[in-house]
């Protein structure tokens, strides 16, 4: 993905409006291009400022009831869906303050596990695009400085070959709005992607395991970094891997 094309698609990227493959290539360009990264950060800062600073006007109960009674009774649109705000007819909603309040409420209801969806997608694409690593080597003393030189962070990088989790290499990635280190391991035939990026929250947090689309995901915070391990290995094996990294 070249620079001009990426630049044009940055707003769509920030809004998660791009398809998975395009998103992958955009993310790869952004991770390497300071100019696109800076522009994306401005867009994201603007969006989040709008979300947090715009006043929310609550609809008076009478108006809320009128809107509710105007909606089709058989199939009320679920409030959690983003398309909700496009689902109203002009007659019910046109220009009312209630419309503003509802739109904001729905915009705020981003699923809390958007980051999990993002890392699972990154994990899948890292294997699909035949670009698992930028620096393919099992030498931790090569991978770690390579990543540190390109990202302002120094994650745990260690070859756990004796424990059955050999280091395969490292890669620059872009996860949920953060430039991230992707440290790649194998467990038998399975790939484990370990993402690390700067935490917004500096406190440590114990590992939390969840599953999505057949993949296991474990995330935790340590030393100012958020770590997310993703793989299709069994949860117990992924947790054993996480314990190695934690003690590494
Ligand atoms: Zn660029």
Whether residue 232 sits in one domain with residue 185: yes
Residue 206: what pLDDT?
Answer: 96
Q: Is the dihedral of CA 220, 225, 230, 234 positive or negative?
A: negative
Task: Give CA–CA dist 155/226, Å, rounded.
Answer: 9
Measured in Å, residue 37 CA sits from the centre of ligand 1 at: 7
Measured in Å, residue 131 CA sits from the centre of ligand 1 at: 19
Measured in Å, residue 15 CA sits from the centre of ligand 1 at: 18
Whether residue 240 sits in one domain with residue 122: yes
Whether residue 130 sits in one domain with residue 175: yes
Kindly give, in sequence order, each residue whose CB lies less than 8 Å from that of residue 120, ignoring residues fewer than 6 positions away.
212, 213, 215, 217, 230
| Residue-level pLDDT, tens digit, the chain, 248 residues | 789 999 999 999 988 888 878 888 888 888 888 899 989 988 888 887 777 776 666 666 777 777 667 766 554 444 444 433 433 344 444 444 444 444 444 444 444 577 888 888 888 878 776 678 888 898 999 999 999 999 988 899 999 999 999 999 999 988 877 889 999 999 999 999 999 999 888 899 999 999 988 899 999 999 999 999 999 999 999 999 999 999 98
Identify the bridge partners of residue 157 per DSSP, sorted by sequence position: none
Whether residue 236 sits in one domain with residue 212: yes
Measured in Å, residue 100 CA sits from the centre of ligand 1 at: 35
Measured in Å, residue 27 CA sits from the centre of ligand 1 at: 10
Measured in Å, residue 113 CA sits from the centre of ligand 1 at: 28
Query: CATH number for the domain including 159?
Result: 3.30.200.100
Whether residue 72 sits in one domain with residue 195: no
Task: Give CA–CA dist 17/75, Å, rounded.
Answer: 26
Whether residue 186 sits in one domain with residue 143: yes
Measured in Å, residue 40 CA sits from the centre of ligand 1 at: 10
Whether residue 73 sits in one domain with residue 39: no
Residue 169 burial (CB < 10 Å; 0-12/13-18/19+)? buried
Whether residue 97 sits in one domain with residue 127: no
Measured in Å, residue 217 CA sits from the centre of ligand 1 at: 30
Contact in structure between 51 and 107 (CB atoms under 8 Å)? yes
DSSP H helices, the chain, are 3-14, 20-32, 34-53, 61-70, 90-93, 97-108, 114-128, 140-150, 235-247
Kindly give, in sequence order, each residue whose CB lies less than 8 Å from that of residue 89, ignoring residues fewer than 6 positions away.
none
Whether residue 25 sits in one domain with residue 78: no
Whether residue 157 sits in one domain with residue 137: yes
What one-character-per-residue DSSP string does 122-172 give? HHHHHHHTT---SEE-S-HHHHHHHHHHHSS-------BGGGTB-EEEEEE
Q: Is the dihedral of CA 119, 124, 127, 129 positive or negative?
A: negative
Among residues 44, 73, 108, the one where a domain terminates is 108
Task: Please count the structural domains in the chain.
Answer: 3
Whether residue 49 sits in one domain with residue 65: no
Whether residue 241 sits in one domain with residue 124: yes
Measured in Å, residue 13 CA sits from the centre of ligand 1 at: 13
Query: What range defines the domain where residue 75 resides?
Result: 61-108
Residue 109: what pLDDT?
Answer: 42
């Amino acid at each position: 993905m070249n620079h001009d094309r990426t630049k044009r698609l940055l707003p769509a990227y920030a809004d998660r409006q791009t398809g998975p493959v395009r998103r992958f290539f955009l993310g790869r360009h952004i991770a390497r291009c300071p100019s696109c990264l800076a522009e994306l950060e401005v867009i994201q800062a603007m969006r989040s400022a709008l979300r947090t600073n715009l006043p929310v006007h609550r609809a008076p109960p009478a108006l809320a009831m009128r809107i509710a009674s105007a909606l089709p009774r058989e199939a009320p649109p679920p409030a959690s869906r983003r398309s909700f705000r496009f689902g109203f007819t002009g007659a019910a909603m046109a220009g009312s303050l209630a419309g503003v309040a509802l739109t904001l409420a729905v915009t705020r209801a981003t699923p809390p596990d958007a980051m999990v969806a993002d890392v699972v997608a990154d994990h899948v694409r890292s294997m699909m695009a035949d670009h698992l690593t930028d620096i393919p080597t099992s030498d931790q003393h090569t991978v770690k400085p390579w990543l540190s030189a390109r990202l302002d962070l120094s994650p745990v990088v260690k070859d756990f070959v004796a424990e059955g989790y050999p280091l395969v290499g490292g890669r620059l990635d872009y996860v949920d709005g953060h430039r991230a280190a992707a440290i790649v391991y194998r467990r038998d035939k399975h790939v484990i992607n370990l993402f690390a990026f700067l935490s917004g929250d500096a406190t440590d947090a114990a590992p939390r395991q969840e599953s999505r689309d057949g993949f296991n995901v474990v995330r935790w915070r340590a030393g100012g970094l958020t770590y997310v391990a993703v793989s299709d290995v069994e949860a117990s094996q992924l947790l054993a891997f996480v314990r190695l990294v934690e003690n590494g």
